[in-house]
Chain A
């Protein structure tokens, strides 16, 4: 009997070791990058696993000012925030009508929107680039924002439809009996109820677009229009010629990673439940 218990104990300990070890590596990753951003390059290469002896805040100044990450940060913040607001303005009403309305072709239209999730974005690289060039929106943050909004519609509508259709219909009928018009039912009854869902898609889109990289790589060319991800990529490119200032590069990596990590620390439950709802509905 005691053999049985200890065998179980060993198995249990092993489980914690495997799962816990993997989970700890995520923490190690974040801590290591932040520490690396505060080191001298010699220290970073000489003893990559040490704690910086004297924190080099100058790395951040260099990255923020000389490498223009201050500008990139503002670009990312602007494009991401405007896109998220615009996505909500167009997708929330559409998802509401698609899940609560009764009209012919509703289901077909809903599937038509969902179809967009199956289109691989690289298919659109060239046509979008040509289209943006002909509208004189190539290499502009406006053009990038429009593309972000349009390409986020399928996923956003898909997740929101799930939220709207889970709301009870009694409230809707009660509001109609009380004399609410259809638009009032939406604004004063259903929208407030769906707010948790709206917040979820807002956060997921914010994180996704903040980290977005392939479309901006295709559409943005000038240094002054770069987003943070593009800034890091271009810094890596320039390091090829100027020798490796990896410490400053990790300062840039810290700058791009901290905002989404803060959001994740506060809202991880909401984000994870939103993703699993979208993926496993």
Chain B
């Protein structure tokens, strides 16, 4: 029915662009990770696995990995906890479910830099919105907290990050929950099940596959995250905000003084890629479970 010529003509442009500007650079990245180079003209020197060895002993890299893990687990528990809570409450027969869902999702269509600028103002030392607010309600003690001090800045960032993420994961989880037949809820309610019991015994098992996908999505996003913490950190970003991707960017392109350690920088990318694959394989293995048919 479809001629070979058409198949080729329809696929070729997409395939060429994809191969040339995504697959080829990805392959080059692996190759680059075995070299020491600053790009521009000077010859790249083969260094074998020494970029990886250096990375292994690099405390800044480990701090970035630690931050990544904190986003994945602490941020993940907060994000999924709230997304589950909202799904549970909205599915218990709230009116205006659609409007609430839309508003909760809304921050996701706004540029990340716009959102981080707002949160920077909220957490600004001395004049920030949070400080003014706490002073206004008489909590001067807490108001004196330096939210952007090195020991706090990471969690200040996480507040904004979780705020956006909750909206995104709520709509994914709700879309799964919406597919559950309504009569199952009604039957459970007639039996006297509570909102939480219904969520725990019906919703969760029925949307297990959706939850698995969203968890994988969250974990791989945590591995590659760069925009939110980087923009929140501003021009002299604190190392407490580094994620692997931010460290990669800084080692490659620097800030005011460029580093141009292109080989070393790309090695971080390769580690991120391996982590991504490992997460997908591991999660699929851990959460292997019969899918409930309905």
User: Is A202 engaged at the interface, CB distance under 8 Å to the other chain?
Assistant: no
Interface digits, B97-124 against A, CB 8 Å rule (1 contact, 0 not)? 0011111111101111111011011000
Contact B11 A98 (CB under 8 A): yes
Contact B25 A211 (CB under 8 A): no
Interface digits, B266-294 against A, CB 8 Å rule (1 contact, 0 not)? 10111011001100100000000000000
| Interface of chain B residues 208 through 255 with chain A (CB within 8 A) | 210, 213-214, 217, 220, 223-224, 226-227, 230-231, 234-236, 244-245, 248-249, 252-253
User: Is B86 engaged at the interface, CB distance under 8 Å to the other chain?
Assistant: yes
Chain B nearest CB, measured from A226 CB (Å): 12
Stretch in contact with the other chain, from B46-54, B125-133, B138-146, B147-155: B125-133
| Interface of chain A residues 1 through 55 with chain B (CB within 8 A) | 11, 15-16, 18-20, 22-27, 29-30, 32-33, 36, 45, 47-49
Interface of A is mostly: helix
Partner of B249, one of A20, A103, A217: A217
A150, A172, A257 — which one has the most chain B CB atoms within 10 A of its CB? Answer: A150
Closest to A157 in B: B14
Interface digits, B184-224 against A, CB 8 Å rule (1 contact, 0 not)? 00000000000100000000000000100110010010011
Contact B117 A150 (CB under 8 A): no
Chain B nearest CB, measured from A179 CB (Å): 13
CA distance A237 to B231 in the complex (A): 10
CA distance A174 to B269 in the complex (A): 50
Partner of A18, one of B7, B89, B101: B89
CA distance A214 to B104 in the complex (A): 25
Stretch in contact with the other chain, from B26-34, B55-63, B71-79: B26-34
Partner of A102, one of B2, B25, B127, B265: B2
Contact A151 B133 (CB under 8 A): no
CA distance A26 to B163 in the complex (A): 9
Contact B172 A94 (CB under 8 A): no
Answer whether A91 and B117 are a contact pair too, CB < 8 Å, given A182-B6, A260-B110: no
Contact A19 B90 (CB under 8 A): yes
Chain B nearest CB, measured from A118 CB (Å): 6
CA distance A257 to B114 in the complex (A): 7
Contact B18 A154 (CB under 8 A): yes
User: Is B81 engaged at the interface, CB distance under 8 Å to the other chain?
Assistant: no
| A271 contact set on B, CB distance < 8 A | 109
Partner of A96, one of B10, B120, B176, B195: B10
| A25 contact set on B, CB distance < 8 A | 163
| Interface of chain A residues 73 through 111 with chain B (CB within 8 A) | 89-91, 93-94, 96-98, 100-103, 109
Q: Interface size class for chain A?
A: 35 or more
Closest to A100 in B: B2
Contact B109 A126 (CB under 8 A): no
Interface digits, B143-171 against A, CB 8 Å rule (1 contact, 0 not)? 00000000000000000000100111001
| A18 contact set on B, CB distance < 8 A | 85-86, 89
CA distance A130 to B44 in the complex (A): 13
Closest to A117 in B: B220
Chain B nearest CB, measured from A62 CB (Å): 16
Closest to A89 in B: B13
Partner of A123, one of B7, B21, B210, B273: B273
User: Is B15 engaged at the interface, CB distance under 8 Å to the other chain?
Assistant: yes
Answer whether A182 and B3 are a contact pair too, CB < 8 Å, given A94-B13, A126-B252, A228-B111: yes
Chain A nearest CB, measured from B280 CB (Å): 7
Contact A210 B132 (CB under 8 A): no
Contact A125 B132 (CB under 8 A): no
Partner of A19, one of B2, B3, B94: B94
| B89 contact set on A, CB distance < 8 A | 15, 18-19
Contact B94 A123 (CB under 8 A): no
Contact B175 A280 (CB under 8 A): yes
Contact A122 B249 (CB under 8 A): yes
| A27 contact set on B, CB distance < 8 A | 103
B6, B117, B252 — which one has the most chain A CB atoms within 10 A of its CB? Answer: B117
| B101 contact set on A, CB distance < 8 A | 272
Closest to B268 in A: A122
Contact A130 B11 (CB under 8 A): no
19 further A-B contacts with Cβ under 8 Å, apart from A93-B10, A122-B226, A264-B106, are: A48-B121, A90-B17, A94-B14, A97-B6, A97-B7, A120-B223, A120-B245, A120-B273, A125-B249, A127-B25, A147-B21, A182-B1, A213-B112, A213-B231, A232-B113, A236-B120, A257-B114, A280-B176, A280-B210
Q: What 4 A-B pairs are tightest by C-beta distance, nearest first?
A: A150-B21, A127-B25, A276-B175, A123-B269
- Residue contacts A-B, CB under 8 angstroms, 10 given: A30-B106, A103-B4, A103-B7, A113-B14, A124-B26, A125-B253, A182-B1, A264-B106, A276-B172, A280-B172
